Amino acid sequence: MRDTMQDVAFHALSVTDALERVQGSEQGLTGEEAASRLLTHGQNRLPQAARRSAVVRFLSQFNNILIYVLLAAALVTFLLEHAVDAGVILAVVLVNAIVGFLQEGRAEAAMDAIRGMLALRSSVLRNGQRRSIDATDLVIGDVVLFEAGDRIPADLRIMEAHGVKVSEAALTGESVPVDKIADPVARNCAIGDRSSMLFSGTLVATGSGRGLVVATGSRTEIGRISGLLSDVVTLTTPLVHQMDVFARWLTLFILILAGILLLYGSSFGALPFSELFMTVVGLSVAAIPEGLPAVMTITLAVGVQAMAKRNAIVRRLPAIETLGSVSVICTDKTGTLTRNEMTVATLVTRDHVFAVDGVGYAPDGAIRLHDADADRQEHRILIDMARASALCNDAMLSVSGNTWRVEGDPMEGALMALAGKITGGGPDPFSGEWDRLATIPFDAAHRYMAVLHEERNGQRLIHVKGAPEAVLALCKDQRCAEGGTRDVETGYWADEIEALAAKGQRVLALAVRSVRGNHRNLSAADLDGHLTLLGLVGLIDPPRKEAIAAVAACHRAGIGVKMITGDHAGTARAIAAMIGLKHTDRVLTGQDIDQLDDLQLEHAALDVDIFARTSPAHKLRLVIALQARGLTVAMTGDGVNDAPALKRADAGIAMGQKGSEAAKEAAEIVLADDNFASIVAAVSEGRTVYDNLKKVISWTLPTNAGEALTIVVALFAGLSLPITAVQILWINLVTTITLGFALAFEPSEAATMSRPPRQRNEPLLGVELLWNIVLVSLLFAAAVFGIYFYALGRDYDPALARTMAMNMLVVLEIFHLFFIRNFYTTSLTWRAVRGTPAVWFCVVTVTFAQFSVTYLPSLQAWFGTQPVPFVDGLLIVALGCVFFALVETEKQIRIALRRSRNVA
């Protein structure tokens, strides 16, 4: 069928003809038919561009200025007849390339897995039932339900459209949304004018409707234009980029220094040129942090994976760093702080307050009045409320076993269940008798939904449900118990709304209007001042337990939490109190915010934690106000109109489940489970990643500097070298690429979430780190020279003295690793000593390598080493302990000083 479909001008066909061409039906395909079409025609996806092959990826590891320098050094070394040294340099290059290659592969795999988690889903009708499926499983003939914020998953012929506007920028470059309707258009009109079609990849800006799939995958318009989907992952963040640049400058600096040393040494030094050259090469290799970029990349990849495991999917890598510095989280209420598992608990009419029983979404349960079952015949208004609930509704209930599930909005699911409870007529009691003619979809801006239906006998009714203020404003009167109507008693309803909200219930109002038999369309003018209020519905949505703990964790971590909700102020306040937000005495509503100028809002935004009845525009203003106060803002969002606020926030976070595609695309992070606790987990991981990047740098730079300093001092002081060039190369080979990597896998420190957020502009190489580099470099040089002269003093062979100095350096690097692991707190805990598998793997590898180079005769011949006596070995380890004690004491003093400063 696929091949014959391509030339059909679906835009010019009527819906009936289009259905016929694709052999579909209004009710959608059957499951079996869809499966068989999928098998014959393939999945709905664009072909991927070919990846770089493994060989190309491996070779690209050598395309790096540092590597060129090393290769040149290896060549000259070889020409100077230092074959072993040349071999070791080549081994350094090769091992670096292999490690870089493997890590890059791993990082790409991590990003791929994440892309898989962000797969587009789509609502379709199968066997007349609404289902959510992977967009790749769509086939020609499927009926797709779409609404504002959705990305269109395939080319669709519109079957039904209510106020639909679509942004077709992805296809036509035109950014202003265009109107879409179901009527056919001229056969020869251009793509941009095909208002009866929705094209794959475009974004629904407003409205809702349903469409028939007429082309999938590469047969869609976008597939024909773009052909291949390129998916290059950029694995970098500002910090990594900054370090890349830093590493380049450092290389240049080291090369200049090496040049000067070479000149100085050959003019004034005692070493023969070839030995001098080797020493300078050794120094350069020691000082150049060639492994740093690779270690930083893998640190990020490990962070991305750790976040994904905790349900936070990173769409843009730099967000990882930003998350670590978040100082205020602005969050939605429904689904994020609460479970979004709604149940109707209360019905309020003019004369009575009913309690509703039942659990979950099962459409059975009692309606009680004063603890007795309410008589439906006596309270006819209950049937009217059931009808309004069920008809003004896009959700569907389905059952498997004993469990009832909702397809669609959980709140609407709860209203369906309510209708079943009132009528006793199952999950969709009115569907057979009423046909929907028109809809005004729910929109956060007007906060109601309206539908026009026709009954089989010709009666036409408009039903409206929505936020009580919004619906009350449209009502001309209210329904009485006796059946008649009377003027709206605003005071009574206001009290009832407050009473429900104070219990944390979400309140909806239901209203109805009867219209003439020829009334077909629906607009706001049909509602305004024409509706009859039926009553109120109170829904409970319990807070998430884990959100309560997460809010407390935020407060401990110095992070503010602000609830920004579209819900009623009273409901928001009650939920905020249950969740444990700080300032629950003040609530600012959208209307209040409108009264404030930007400066006033900046002040208010700091003091207030609850914002109710807000619209997306208010979210944007709040982000800007908080940022103006120097805060780093994380903001959640789900609707299509949340995109500007998400983009503006430092970390935009979209809801993976209830969020629209528009929100997800604007956000940096997507929450797989919509849970507030996952945001906090992501912040904690963000802090850990930043810490680990810092640790990698803090370990690499001082060890490099320490090695380099040892050689520089020896050269300038005219001393014999305590470590030969080839030994330095060896140390670099085994330590920097093993020990450094251990830090990429560091878990969060215990204190990660009990310190205040990092300042956004905090420099990476701050005073503390610079001081640490100086201190560690000096201690390294002192220990290496110390052990060297100690050995010479005991009349050991100079080769043995050098072997001891080399082992000293490695032992220092291992102890330094254990010191760096706990940057903010003491290292003297069992947890710190116990280490991690990664740490011990690296330590064992390095120790094994050192034993080999020290005691294996073949390696001794290459590296000029001699076996170190047992007691001297112990001395070296003891000196390592002393080094550790010194740097640890210095850290403890620093921590104590900082604490006393903070207390003061």
φ, ψ of residue 788 to 5 degrees: the values are -65, -50
Nearer to ligand ATP, 26 or 546 (CB): 546
How far apart are alpha carbons 723 and 710 in whole angstroms?
A: 8
Nearer to ligand ATP, 157 or 506 (CB): 506
Minimum distance, C-beta of residue 332 to ligand ATP, in the bound complex (Å): 4
Minimum distance, C-beta of residue 203 to ligand ATP, in the bound complex (Å): 19
Tell whether residue 699 is a contact of ligand ATP (CB under 6 A). no
Interface segment toward ligand ATP; rule CB under 6 A; list 320-328, 463-471, 757-765, 863-871 = 463-471
Interface segment toward ligand ATP; rule CB under 6 A; list 232-240, 274-282, 329-337, 767-775 = 329-337
The residue with tokens 């240049």 is 252
435 counts as catalytic: no
Binding map of ligand ATP across residues 277-316, x = CB under 6 A, - = no contact: ----------------------------------------
CA atoms within a 13 Å half-sphere pointing along the CA-CB vector of 881: 7
Please select the residue that binds ligand ATP; options are 11, 421, 447, 758, rule is CB under 6 A: 447
Under DSSP, is residue 485 helix (H, G, I), strand (E, B) or coil?
A: strand
Tell whether residue 194 is a contact of ligand ATP (CB under 6 A). no
Interface segment toward ligand ATP; rule CB under 6 A; list 284-292, 442-450, 641-649, 682-690 = 442-450
Please select the residue that binds ligand ATP; options are 506, 513, 544, 694, rule is CB under 6 A: 506
Tell whether residue 616 is a contact of ligand ATP (CB under 6 A). no
Q: Which of 155, 332, 674, 872 is catalytic?
A: 332
Minimum distance, C-beta of residue 544 to ligand ATP, in the bound complex (Å): 13
Nearer to ligand ATP, 460 or 506 (CB): 506
How far apart are alpha carbons 223 and 328 in whole angstroms?
A: 42
φ, ψ of residue 117 to 5 degrees: the values are -70, -20
Tell whether residue 463 is a contact of ligand ATP (CB under 6 A). no
Say if residues 773 and 701 touch (Cβ distance below 8 Å).
yes
Nearer to ligand ATP, 306 or 576 (CB): 576
CA angle (162 as vertex; 422, 437 as ends), nearest 5: 50
Minimum distance, C-beta of residue 769 to ligand ATP, in the bound complex (Å): 41
- Residue 487's region, left for phi above 0, alpha for psi from -120 to 50, else beta, is beta
Nearer to ligand ATP, 66 or 539 (CB): 539
Please select the residue that binds ligand ATP; options are 9, 444, 617, 712, rule is CB under 6 A: 444
Tell whether residue 409 is a contact of ligand ATP (CB under 6 A). yes
Asked whether the CA dihedral 585, 590, 593, 598 is positive or negative, the reply is positive
Residue type, 432: G
How far apart are alpha carbons 703 and 755 in whole angstroms?
A: 28
Minimum distance, C-beta of residue 571 to ligand ATP, in the bound complex (Å): 7
Nearer to ligand ATP, 636 or 827 (CB): 636
Task: Give the interface size with ligand ATP as a residue count (CB under 6 A).
Answer: 19
List all residues 6 or more positions away from 76 whose beta carbon is below 8 Å from its beta carbon. Answer: 277, 281
Tell whether residue 466 is a contact of ligand ATP (CB under 6 A). yes
How far apart are alpha carbons 522 and 839 in whole angstroms?
A: 67
Say if residues 309 and 674 touch (Cβ distance below 8 Å).
no
Tokens of 767: 């005073």
Q: How much helix, strand and coil, in percent to the nearest 5, is found in the chain?
A: 50, 20, 30
How far apart are alpha carbons 743 and 827 in whole angstroms?
A: 15
Tokens of 452: 């026009």
Say if residues 153 and 122 touch (Cβ distance below 8 Å).
yes
Under DSSP, is residue 452 helix (H, G, I), strand (E, B) or coil?
A: strand
Under DSSP, is residue 119 helix (H, G, I), strand (E, B) or coil?
A: coil
Tell whether residue 465 is a contact of ligand ATP (CB under 6 A). yes
Tell whether residue 659 is a contact of ligand ATP (CB under 6 A). no
- DSSP-derived secondary structure letter, 136: G
Tell whether residue 29 is a contact of ligand ATP (CB under 6 A). no
DSSP for 444-464? TTT-EEEEEEEETTS-EEEEE
Interface segment toward ligand ATP; rule CB under 6 A; list 155-163, 461-469, 583-591, 821-829 = 461-469
Tell whether residue 508 is a contact of ligand ATP (CB under 6 A). yes
The residue with tokens 């980029």 is 241
Minimum distance, C-beta of residue 612 to ligand ATP, in the bound complex (Å): 9
Nearer to ligand ATP, 442 or 815 (CB): 442
How far apart are alpha carbons 252 and 585 in whole angstroms?
A: 60
Minimum distance, C-beta of residue 325 to ligand ATP, in the bound complex (Å): 25
Helical spans, DSSP H, in 288-366: 292-309, 319-324
Please select the residue that binds ligand ATP; options are 333, 479, 573, 621, rule is CB under 6 A: 333
Tell whether residue 147 is a contact of ligand ATP (CB under 6 A). no
CA atoms within a 13 Å half-sphere pointing along the CA-CB vector of 685: 27
Nearer to ligand ATP, 332 or 872 (CB): 332
How far apart are alpha carbons 119 and 237 in whole angstroms?
A: 24
Please select the residue that binds ligand ATP; options are 449, 551, 559, 662, rule is CB under 6 A: 449
Tell whether residue 544 is a contact of ligand ATP (CB under 6 A). no
Interface segment toward ligand ATP; rule CB under 6 A; list 4-12, 107-115, 132-140, 406-414 = 406-414
State how far Cα 301 lies from the chain centre. Answer: 13
Minimum distance, C-beta of residue 447 to ligand ATP, in the bound complex (Å): 4
Minimum distance, C-beta of residue 330 to ligand ATP, in the bound complex (Å): 11
Interface segment toward ligand ATP; rule CB under 6 A; list 408-416, 428-436, 715-723, 760-768 = 408-416
Interface segment toward ligand ATP; rule CB under 6 A; list 13-21, 68-76, 148-156, 326-334 = 326-334
List all residues 6 or more positions away from 862 whose beta carbon is below 8 Å from its beta carbon. Answer: 84, 726
Minimum distance, C-beta of residue 405 to ligand ATP, in the bound complex (Å): 18
User: What b-and-e string marks burial along 170-206, b requiring 16 or more CB atoms within 10 Å of the CB?
Assistant: bbeeeeebbebebebeeeeeeeeebbbbbbbbbbbbb
Tokens of 73: 């050094």
Nearer to ligand ATP, 466 or 560 (CB): 466
Binding map of ligand ATP across residues 559-578, x = CB under 6 A, - = no contact: ------xxx-----------
Interface segment toward ligand ATP; rule CB under 6 A; list 189-197, 464-472, 510-518, 538-546 = 464-472
Tell whether residue 493 is a contact of ligand ATP (CB under 6 A). no
Minimum distance, C-beta of residue 342 to ligand ATP, in the bound complex (Å): 10
Nearer to ligand ATP, 501 or 876 (CB): 501
Tell whether residue 332 is a contact of ligand ATP (CB under 6 A). yes
Say if residues 466 and 393 touch (Cβ distance below 8 Å).
no
Query: What HEC string does 186-250 produce?
Result: CCCCCHHHCCCEECCCCEEEEEEEEEEEEECHHHCHHHHHHCCECCCCCCCCHHHHHHHHHHHHH
Give the pairing type, strands 669-671 and 651-655. Answer: parallel
Minimum distance, C-beta of residue 26 to ligand ATP, in the bound complex (Å): 24
φ, ψ of residue 223 to 5 degrees: the values are -65, -35
Tell whether residue 334 is a contact of ligand ATP (CB under 6 A). yes
Minimum distance, C-beta of residue 316 to ligand ATP, in the bound complex (Å): 23
Tokens of 890: 């210095």
Under DSSP, is residue 454 helix (H, G, I), strand (E, B) or coil?
A: strand
Please select the residue that binds ligand ATP; options are 406, 467, 576, 645, rule is CB under 6 A: 467
Q: Which residues bind ligand ATP (CB under 6 A)?
A: 332-334, 409, 411-412, 442, 444, 447-449, 465-467, 506, 508, 565-567
**Positions marked catalytic:** 332
